[in-house]
Structure 1
């Protein structure tokens, strides 16, 4: 089991700005260049050029929150378009209403509500009805979420194995196993990089 996101975002204090799109650079930093919802790095969407700013509580329903930094989420287009202006509660403070709704991505509860299995698929904790609702509404079951995660996983794994192989003498019984693991990992990395280009 792996965490949904590599890092849990935390919004920093920001000076009040007149337009929410002016916060994009700060959001990118606070969200570690990743979608606050699914954890996909913005490199897969033009290194942030195509990333969106989501209004957690929709601006179409809560106009007064349009430029509130605390209501903004750095989001991939997939999650933002899927969420759209959906909101289950009658007020902006009622994120979860009748057991369905949205868990705030910067809330610590978010990190324990979702996880990834060994193949990178996003899963939600059984019994967490709000997480289940979000999983389906934000289309967390799409193959792209799995492929992007696996591409990153092998991209980070290959240098670590390569370093270990360089440090291991050829006479060591582990040398051949490490070499095979490295070649297999490179092959997997190439496969998922190719798949993500085809999405």
Structure 2
């Protein structure tokens, strides 16, 4: 059974006006929940905000009047931004339309387009959204959240026998997490 593509939809909230679109990066990171607008991958796995790009939804090379228009900017990973470049194909604005209506994730985190969405199929192909890196990052993020939750439970547990069992589970999860991390590093 497929999973939702994203849990929290990005929204553009900045009302300030800047001459340089780069000045909006912190606002974009916040509005996009520190995740790529197109893949929903957290910037953390790409080295943080400094390694993320700002995409012009409508390319500024063809729409120079929109170069610093906040409503035209998308926080995204470098891979997607480079592939999208100045293409004006059938793209879905991640703030205007719910990606959950157009994309799903398989159990392993693979991004798949909904069959009846022409735009999602186009984006999936053009932006190579089916790459293993995106499913790996999704799984890493999922495991990381589980580690945080498990650590919180361990910290609250007073029963030493249960705490020992939980610590064993934590170490097993951490080992699997490290295996995925090493695979991701080797395949970037």
TM range (shorter): 0.7 to 0.9
Give the match for residue 17 of structure 2.
Answer: 16
CA–CA distance in structure 1, aligned partners of residues 98 and 28 of structure 2: 20
The whole-number CA distance in structure 1 between the counterparts of 2:97 and 2:174 is: 34
Worse-matched range after superposition: 66-75 or 188-197 = 188-197
Tell me the distance in 2 between the aligned counterparts of 1:171 and 1:27: 46
Give SS of 1:154's match. Answer: helix
Report the TM-score, using the length of structure 2 for normalisation: 0.87
What residue in structure 2 maps to residue 42 of structure 1? 43
Shift of 1:33: 1.1
Distance 1:56 1:86 in 2: 9
**CA displacement at 1:111 relative to structure 2:** 2.5
Q: CA, structure 1 residues 14+126, in 2 after alignment: closer, same or farther (shift >3 Å)?
A: same
Q: Report what 1:80 is aligned to.
A: 81
Matched position secondary structure for 2:17:
coil
CA contact (8 A) 1:117 1:123 kept: yes
The number of residue pairs the alignment matches comes to 185
Residues 159 and 168 from structure 1, CA distance in 2 versus in 1: closer, same or farther, beyond 3 angstroms?
A: farther
Unaligned runs of at least 5 residues, structure 2? none
Q: Give the corresponding residue for 1:115.
A: 104
DSSP 3-state at the match of 2:145: helix
Distance in structure 2 (CA, Å) of the matches to 1:72 and 1:195:
32
1 CA distance for matches of 2:99 and 2:24?
Answer: 22
Match of 1:55 in 2: 56
Q: Following TM superposition, by how much is the alpha carbon of 1:125 offset from its aligned partner in structure 2, in angstroms?
A: 1.0
Alpha-carbon distance in 1 for matches of 2:172, 2:184: 18
Hey, which bits of structure 1, 4+ residues long, moved more than 6 A?
A: none
* Superposed displacement of residue 147, structure 1: 1.0
Whether the 8 Å CA contact 1:18–1:67 is kept in 2: the answer is: yes
Higher alpha-carbon deviation: 105-114 or 45-54: 105-114
Q: CA RMSD in A?
A: 2.2
Match of 2:174 among 186, 191, 198: 186
With structure 1 as the length reference, what TM-score do the two structures score? Answer: 0.83
